[in-house]
Amino acid sequence: MSLKARITEDMKSAMRARETERLATIRLLLAAIKQKEVDERIELDDAAVIGVVDKLIKQRKDSIEAFRKAERHDLADKEQAEMQVLQAYLPARMNAQELAQAVAAIVAELGAKGPGDMGRVMAAVKAQLSGKADMGQVSAAVKSALAG
């Protein structure tokens, strides 16, 4: 079963169980997926759906931070709940050690040396590790691999 089909099935089960918050979040995700499909005139595969989920999670993290600064804990809690629903659709994340090993292997494979190769390495890493690791952590790992 594709990820998109699983999300649709989860929406139906949330409807049956009358889980309004979960249902709203899943509908938001399906709308974002549909919007991307319409904009690009393509059918999204699992990797592209994971990219959409990643983008929505990043938006939630940014919103949580802003709401906490503004002392709006009620809104921050709502965003946190949405983020947890979305995270269920991501594959298992790599830990820091696995990420460092994967980045080191890609750097060695490309023969990259120094910060000037950052863009080339990031493109390769993003292609291989998309959805498996947080891109902020990936960027830090690439910087340290190229520096050392």
Same-domain check for residues 14 and 75: yes
Cα(103)–Cα(139) distance, integer angstroms: 10
Structure tokens at 26: 């899943």
The residue that leads in pLDDT, 128 or 44, is 44
Residue 128, pLDDT > 90, answer no
Quote the domain boundaries for residue 106. 96-147
pLDDT digits (tens, 9 = 90+) for 29-47: 999 999 999 999 999 998 8
**pLDDT over threshold 70, residue 148:** no
SS3 state of residue 71: coil
Tens of pLDDT along 95-122?
888 888 888 888 888 887 878 788 888 8
Q: CA-to-CA distance for 36 and 30, rounded, in angstroms?
A: 10
Beta carbons of 66 and 88 less than 8 angstroms apart: no
Residues 77 and 26 grouped into a single domain: yes
pTM for this predicted structure: 0.78
Identify the band that residue 11 occupies on the pLDDT scale cut at 50, 70 and 90: very high
* Pair (28, 60) in one structural domain: yes
| pLDDT at residue number 15 | 97
- How many independent structural domains does the chain possess? 2
Identify the domain boundary among 87, 115, 136.
Answer: 87
Residues 138 and 81 in one domain: no
**10 and 74 part of one domain:** yes
| CATH code for position 47 | 1.10.1510.10
Residue 38: what residue type? V
The more confidently predicted of residues 140 and 76 is 76
62 or 146: which carries more pLDDT confidence? 62
What is the phi-psi region of residue 44: left when phi exceeds 0, alpha when psi lies from -120 to 50, beta otherwise?
Answer: beta
Q: What is the mean pLDDT of the chain?
A: 90
- Looking at 87, 105, 134, which one is the last position of a domain? 87
If asked whether residues 48 and 119 sit together in one domain, one would say no
CATH of the domain at 125: 1.10.10.410
Pair 82, 104 in one domain: no
Show which of 87, 118, 137 is a domain's final residue. Answer: 87
For 11-73, the three-class secondary structure string (H helix, E strand, C coil) is: HHHHHHCCCHHHHHHHHHHHHHHHHHHHHHCCCCCHHHHHHHHHHHHHHHHHHHHHHHHCCCH
